[in-house]
Amino acid sequence: MGRRVLFLSASVGVGHTAAAAAVQNALAAIEPGIEMQTVDSYRYAASIFSKVVADGYIGMVKTVPQLYRYIYDRAERSRDIPAFRRWVSQYTASNLRALVDQRRPDLVVCTHAFPCGVMSEYKRQFDPDLPVVGIVTDFVVHPFWIYTNIDAYAVATPEMGQALLARGVARERIVVSGIPVDPRFGTRRLPVAELREALGLPVDRRIVLMMGGGLGIGPLDVMIRALGKVDVPLAGAIIVGRNSRLEKRVLAIAEHTDYPLRVVGFVDNVYDYMHASDVLLSKPGGLTSSEALSAELPMVLVKPLPGQEERNTRYLTSRRAAIRARGERHLAQAVGEILTSPERRAQLATSIAALRRPDAARSVAERIVELLDSRQPPDQRAAGQELDERKYDRSAWS
């Protein structure tokens, strides 16, 4: 029986589960017999809390983004854990106890701030020796992530490492790995012309890839209109994911464009679309941005959500690895500049090369294996306790 690692994610967007999948694949390559499972931590929170967070977050950033920005900024400046958040973590930690008893993981990985706080509380209440790793999936680390009893943090940038140090996290518990993505973003599998033919994209035009984010709330209509103002022969490709309503709306808009526009739903080869494209228009989610960096694809960032996406934008633009577009006209101007200026493309390429970390998932997986090798297995930690083997569902790990 292989060692077991439990991944705790959260059902807000898709980046957190994508990061978990990237690390799982890297772990499987290092240790083929390892057993892994990903669980949505919100399932174990109070039902009212999970509904408010999952539904309320989307509604708030859509309708009253200023309020979300205020809450995010205020929490960022605070060093105290609010009583309500402490209660939610305690409640969820108690609910998770049955899951951990059943799965008996050798290590827990958190790809969202919420389960990171929960597992900090779990360690305090039930098992201080259970190793826990937090993987921060943005280019900024919010205080909601930070607890001194988490065994390791994987972060994207040295600045994030300094922020953890300032909040009391020991240096040896910090690894500056980058944000974990599928390593296929880092290597083009076919020449560009062949990729475009395989994807149904024209080979005689510049290709602009558009993505609206996992929540489907990116301004794709603005992107489509802006491309019509770019004085360069181009074609567009839009990935809308599993959002049938958004796909229907975009297809209706696409009927009236004066340039070729390919609209696709969910695809499992986003890396091919990135490698076949000349520029990406997207919201600055941490995973999407890291994937584009790995694929060496210039980014124009559009309408970031308040909070972490604004911080991602600030970081990437300050490092001159992306351009932020404010409005339709500026968006068209930015795309035109990238497509027509070799100097601008060269500058972006240099900045992207300094930030890209296509091997981030492997780096995180290696740190996890180090922790596994250095810690006692759960059976030894539980020595002296009577265990009812009937409650352990081993098949859940297969």
pLDDT tens-place values along the chain, 398 residues long: 689 999 998 876 678 899 999 999 999 999 999 999 999 887 777 554 544 454 445 555 555 555 555 555 555 555 555 555 676 777 788 888 888 999 999 999 999 998 999 999 999 999 999 999 999 999 999 888 999 899 999 999 999 999 999 999 999 999 999 999 999 999 999 999 999 999 999 999 999 999 975 555 568 889 999 999 999 999 999 998 877 888 888 888 888 899 999 999 889 999 999 999 999 999 999 999 999 999 999 999 998 888 888 999 999 999 999 999 998 999 999 999 999 999 999 999 999 999 999 999 999 999 999 999 997 665 554 543 443 333 333 333 33
Which residue segment(s) compose the domain that 28 sits in? 4-181+358-397
Are 129 and 47 part of one and the same domain? yes
Please report the pLDDT score of residue 398 as a whole number: 32
Indicate whether 298 and 156 sit together in one domain. no
Query: Are residues 103 and 116 located together in one domain of the fold?
Result: yes
Strand ranges for 243-360 from DSSP E: 261-264, 279-282, 299-302, 322-325
Domain co-membership, 122 together with 198:
no
Same domain, residue pair 217 and 299: yes
Residues 257, 296 within the same domain: yes
pLDDT digits (tens, 9 = 90+) for 272-328: 999 999 999 999 999 999 999 999 999 999 988 888 889 999 999 999 999 999 989
366 & 348 share domain: no
Domain tally for the chain?
2
Q: Rounded to an integer, what distance in angstroms lies between the CA atom of residue 169 and that of residue 186?
A: 31
Contact between 276 and 192 under an 8 Å Cβ cutoff? The reply is yes
- CB under 8 Å to 254, separation ≥6 — which residues? 224, 238, 261, 263
Among residues 311, 315, 268, 308, the alpha carbon closest in space to that of 293 is found at 315
Ordered DSSP codes for 258-290: SS-EEEE---S-HHHHHHT-SEEEE---HHHHH
Q: Answer yes or no: do 312 and 197 share one domain.
A: yes
> Do 98 and 165 reside in the same domain of the chain?
yes
The verdict on 176 and 212 lying in the same domain is: no
Which residues make beta-bridge pairs with 175?
154
Is there a single domain that holds both residue 170 and residue 243?
no
Euclidean distance between CA atoms 43 and 191, whole angstroms: 44
Quick one: tokens of 320? 């001159």
Same domain, 58 and 174: yes
From CA 240, how far away is CA 250, in angstroms rounded?
Answer: 9
CATH for 282:
3.40.50.2000
Q: How would you label 296-320 residue by residue, b for 16+ Cβ within 10 Å and e otherwise?
A: bbbbbbbbbbbbbbbbbbebbbeee
Q: What is the pTM of this model?
A: 0.86
